[in-house]
Amino acid sequence: MKNAQCGWINTGEESDMLKPSKVTVDYWSALQDKKLKIQICQKCHKNVFYPRPLCTGCGAMELEYEEYQGGITVISIVAPESVAQNISHLIVGELDNGVRLLAPISTNNAMCLQIGARYGLAFLEIDGQLFPTVV
Partner 1 sequence: MDMYEAFEQVDIIATYQKKPVKLGNYPPTTQLEQIAVLTNSVLSEAGLPLSEIDGLVCLPINESRLFAPSTVGDYLGLRLNYADLVDVGGASALAMLWRAYLAVASGQSNLVLCVIPGGIPPVTTEEDVNLLKYGASSSKFGSPQAEFELPLGFWGQNISYAIAAQDYRQRFGYDDDAVSKLVVSHRENAQLNKDAIFYGKPLTAEDVQASRVVVDPIRKLEIVMPVAGGGAFLVGSTKRYGNQNKRQIKPVGYAECYSEKSLYHRSDMLDTPLKYAAARALDAAKFKISDINAYQLYDCYAITVLLGLEDIGLCARGEAAAFILDNDFSFVGSVPLNTGGGQLGFGQAGMAGGLVQLFEAISQLRHELDDRQIPKCDSVLVTGTGGVLSEQNAMLLVAG
Q: Which residues contact residue 120 at a Cβ distance below 8 angstroms, ignoring those fewer than 6 apart? A: 71, 72, 134, 135
Q: Toward partner 1, which CB reaches closer, 12 or 108?
A: 12
CA atoms of 7 and 103, how far apart (whole Å): 18
Q: Is 53 helix (H, G, I), strand (E, B) or coil?
A: coil
User: Among residues 36, 41, 55, 87, which is the contact residue for partner 1, using CB under 8 A?
Assistant: 87
DSSP class of residue 27 equals H
Check residue 6 for interaction with partner 1 (CB under 8 A).
Answer: yes
Check residue 92 for interaction with partner 1 (CB under 8 A).
Answer: yes
- Considering only 33-41, 62-70, 123-131, which stretch makes contact with partner 1 by CB under 8 A? 123-131
Q: Toward partner 1, which CB reaches closer, 49 or 119?
A: 49
Q: Residue 120 CA to chain centroid, in angstroms?
A: 14
User: Among residues 30, 44, 83, 113, which is the contact residue for partner 1, using CB under 8 A?
Assistant: 83
The 7-36 site mask, x for binding partner 1 (CB under 8 A), equals: -xx-xx-xxxxxxxx--x------------
CA neighbor of 72 nearest in space, from 49, 55, 54, 56 = 49
Check residue 78 for interaction with partner 1 (CB under 8 A).
Answer: yes
Q: Which residues contact residue 87 at a Cβ distance below 8 angstroms, ignoring those fewer than 6 apart? A: 104, 105, 106, 107, 124, 126
Interacting residues toward partner 1 by CB under 8 A: 6, 8-9, 11-12, 14-21, 24, 49-50, 75-84, 87, 90, 92, 98, 100-102, 104, 115-116, 126, 129, 131
